[in-house]
Amino acid sequence: MKTEQKQQVLCAIQQAIIDTRQDIASLQEKTVPIAPDESLGRLTRMEAIGEKSILEENLRQAQYKLQGLERALARIDQPDFGCCRECGEAIPLGRILLLPQTQLCVNCAE
Ligand SMILES: [Zn+2]
């Protein structure tokens, strides 16, 4: 990978980490335990629980993504950075910029 490409990828990773951390922070605020508050009706409470489980799933995915991004950041200077973990082919730059946490090319990801 060329130095200027690596620079581009580095920016993309850093930006994605900032965005993902913000997502995680706002999801964590929304997933505080639901108090057994009698001001909520029964149905509203059920809805709140349903919505909470969706948010918790989103939070898990965001945390997983953040781990992947941090791993990518740590690996960016490795000679095999940007190569597919499965087939060893170079992952197109556009895909890395879009999904910096990916370690697979499009074919292997499918
Ligand atoms: Zn591959």
- pTM of the complete model: 0.82
Distance (angstroms) between ligand 1 centre and the Cα of 86 equals 5
Task: Give the Å distance between the CA of 106 and the centre of ligand 1.
Answer: 7
Q: How far apart are CA 27 and CA 56, in angstroms?
A: 8
Q: Between 103 and 1, whose confidence is greater?
A: 103
Q: How far apart are CA 93 and CA 102, in angstroms?
A: 11
For ligand 1, the distance from its centroid to the CA atom of residue 109, given in whole angstroms, is 7
Q: 4-55 pLDDT, tens per residue?
A: 999 999 999 999 999 999 999 999 998 887 676 656 676 677 888 888 899 9
- Given a contact cutoff of 8 angstroms between Cβ atoms, the answer to whether 64 and 18 are in contact is no
Is there a contact between 34 and 52 (Cβ–Cβ < 8 Å)? yes
- If you measure from the C-alpha of residue 10 to the centroid of ligand 1, how many angstroms do you get, rounded to a whole number? 21
